Every structure is written in C-alpha cells, then in structure tokens.
Amino acid sequence: MIYEYRVYEAAPGRLDDVHAEVRDCVKGLLEKHGATSIGHWTSEVGEFSDKLVYIIAFDDMAQRQKAWDGFRADPEWHRVHEASLAKDAPVVKVTNTFLKPTDYSPLK
C-alpha cells in the first residue's frame, strides 16, 4: 500500500471554495477511479491555515497511475475544473508526497 499526501494551497480568501471542490467533486471522482480516501484536514493553528491536506491510498504505483488517469479523463472533472478556472481557480499550488508505512505503523 502507498499513501499519497497532498496539499492544496488556496488563493487568499478561497479556502472554502477549495473545500467545496474537493468535497463535491474531487473526493468522489478519485474514489470512483480507485483511490481510497484516508482523510482530509485543515489546521486551526500553524502554517496550514490556508491549505487543505489530504491522504489517499493505492495498492501500488500502477494502480495510482490508473486512478489518476481515469480522474483526469473524467468528463465531470473537466466540467468542474473549467468552471473553477472561469472563476479564477481557488488552488494556487499543489504539492504531493508519497508515504511508505513503517513496519510499526498501524496503517500498512
């Protein structure tokens, strides 16, 4: 199992729009195409006050590639993404990291 840690940095004042896009579209489409949602977080205190952090899981890198390819090709994502761009996209930066569980991690 691999875990993808993603951080979406919101444009100033647009974090609620990022939440809506992920809640109403991204999360469901990723699951539809094979990703497993582990969790979504924001920070109440600290450097992540304008960021949405989430983790999704895949069996392996091949399954991850297939899931993201399916997501990116999905007409629903194109519709939502184009509407988002028309309103000046709420996400200004996306970063991701692949996490590998340790031998003592409860998540494997």
Q: pLDDT band for position 68 (50/70/90)?
A: very high
Is residue 50 within 8 A of residue 10, CB to CB? The reply is yes
Q: For the chain, what are the domain ranges?
A: 2-99
Q: What is the mean pLDDT of residues 49-65?
A: 95
CA distance 44 to 17: 18
Q: What average pLDDT is seen over the chain?
A: 92
For 2-99, CATH gives 3.30.70.100
pTM, 2 dp = 0.88
